[in-house]
A and B are shown apart, each in its own frame.
Chain A
């Protein structure tokens, strides 16, 4: 099932896509059909910069177990570092 339901978030960082590194300013997280992963539906994450065109995209298609594990790992990795080390105001 594909819908227009998506979580959109403003981000600040960079991603490496088809044409190399680019400054990324948005991400979309949604459940939809997978293009590549061998599942009917996956949790999909697009890290993008619309100003740079459609190819400025890092895409993930994850099972919900791996998506939740990734979210937890992000929290743990940040927790391992001194507070604020990777903040915008570092």
Chain B
């Protein structure tokens, strides 16, 4: 029997291998209790890899999923505040579609390697990330 309650989670900043082999920042949230877990890639909206993005990831982990939220602006503004990073990414024309798909693919591979991963993956995003989620779902075997 697991020593952890069903809603116990661990959440932390990690690094995943994204598009082009780039190491990018991401946020991982996962239940502590043993179990078969589906994986979700949470895509942040245009205003950035912000506090709310991490809160969404934690919430889904409490509900029993492994969650990775990649920082799509890791390359544009490493270490910058979320709003400054979003402005820098916007000024650069936004996240290229190909790069987005590669970063989501990297997040899926990270999820696939987690203990308890059941091989089922999904992608969620809202606002501009709704388009990104659709793009990733149509481009990757998830």
Contacts and interface: CB of A to CB of B under 8 A. Distances in A.
Given A3-B128, A33-B127, A55 B45 contact: no
A35 interface: yes
Interface string B77-108: 10011111101101111100000000000000
- B interface SS class: loop
B24 interface: no
A54 B128 contact: no
B46 interface: yes
For this complex, into which size category does the number of interface residues on chain A fall?
20 to 34
A4 B91 contact: no
Interface in A1-18: 1-4, 6, 8
Given A4-B128, A55-B80, A50 B47 contact: no
B128 A28 contact: no
Contact of B87 (A3, A33, A46): A46
A48 B47 CA distance: 16
Interface residues of B, number: 21
Interface in A69-90: none
Given A4-B94, A48-B87, A50-B88, A35 B80 contact: no
Contacts of A46: 87, 90-91
Interface of B: 45-47, 50, 76-77, 80-85, 87-88, 90-94, 127-128
7 contacts: A35-B50, A46-B91, A48-B88, A48-B91, A53-B77, A55-B81, A55-B84
Rank and list the top 3 A-B pairs by shortest CB-CB distance, nearest first: A2-B46, A54-B80, A54-B84
